[in-house]
Amino acid sequence: MVRAKEVSSRELLDGYLDRIERLNPAINAVVTLDVERARAAADAADAATARGESSGPLHGLPTTIKDAIATEGIRSTGGAVELRDHVPTADAPAVARLKRAGAVVFGKTNLPRWSGDLESFNEIFGTTNNPWNVERIPGGSSGGAGAAVAAGLTSFELGTDIGGSVRIPSHFNGVFGLKPTFGVISQRGYLDHVDGGTIDVDINVFGPLARSADDLDLLLGVLAESEVPAAKSSTLRVGTWFDTPSCPVAADYRALLVSAADRLADAGAKVEEAHPPVDFDAQVMLFSNMVLAAMSPAYPPDVADAISGTHHQWIRNDIERSRLKAIWAEWFESFDVLLCPVTLTAALPHLQGEFAARRMTVDGVDRSYLENVSWTGLIGVIGLPSAVPPIGRTPEGLPVGVQCVTAWHRDRTAIEVARRLGTYDVPPGF
């Protein structure tokens, strides 16, 4: 539409700003705006359009960025009071790529302190709500990103994911998200502690959230720093893993997962209940150990030392990870994609306080809140790509998604499966 001059970049930007003014107070997704510089950038994009010029595939598209990602000239806090007034002088490489492709960055979205929670709240900006039900969480840590995309407050979003932080907000808010193959998109500029962003963090990735699989594919092409092969075009071989005794999903959610797999089968895919021969609990425990070490710089030194373990322990864990990668690689020689849950339920009611002490109810059974990152941690610890499309809504009207997991660097095939399964719907009132 911008290319065809059906709408200008300035009109798009002002449209989003109007929606933020009217609709953001109910969900508190967008927490910082940079209006004047964004209007200048939009006007410059429109002037280029008038000359028949384009800066790239995102030319003139206004967007927001998760507040854990360094953005030049815009307050970027990581959700931490220590960075309350932090204004970076340079963009994270991923943000720079978006801008070079023509995007107009006009604001930042909310998150938990140091991206370390499923609730998106912090002392600076308060709590973000789910646009489908403001009594529910939008997920985390890219919760503001997921809510903003779902509510139509931005063209798309750039989030981060170390334990599910793109995938869970996509699942809870009914949007599309991609956790890319580890290392495909630069994660420098990640504000996960004071002085963060100068090294790559184990397990962590940057990934896009959007309202369609086509947008994910477009954004992957802009953001990727290495070549990602085209999606597989022949008949898909699909495995499903919807059950495990230690981490069962809610019945209403499981029914929607099965229905999604059935749709693929009806469309010609070869679908069967199958998954790599790994111990679910052992691989999730490996994730727990390694993610604690990766996130330890966010904690006081004594706590960080206690949870991170020794370097020798990390090496032993990395050796075990290498063994598991070989098992998954062999399985993906026979299958193109694995479908599995994102969390155990649809979006949960708001619940704050100490993360490890929280409890939740799944089909009437009291369970640990920590189980919400089991299915995402299973995939994240070995760096596999996972696209999450919205696949339907529970009887309560809450959207849910599914992880479409593929072999390393087969991100576009994961997106293609998401395209076949998912449809974005506008939350009521938005």
Contacts of 65 (CB under 8 A, 6+ apart): 71, 74, 95, 105, 107, 108, 109, 157, 158
H or E element: which one contains 415? helix 411-421
Dihedral (CA of 312, 322, 246, 142) sign = positive
CB 424 within 8 A of CB 399: no
Query: What positions carry a catalytic annotation?
Result: 66, 141, 165
Question: Residue 339 forms beta bridges with which residues?
Answer: 240, 404
d(CA 17, CA 226) in angstroms, rounded, equals 34
DSSP 260-308: HHHHHHHTT-EEEE---S--HHHHHHHHHHHHHHHHGGGS-HHHHHHHH
Angle of CA points 272, 273, 279, to nearest 5°? 145
Alpha helices, DSSP H, located in 56-195: 93-100, 143-150, 167-173
CB 377 within 8 A of CB 162: no
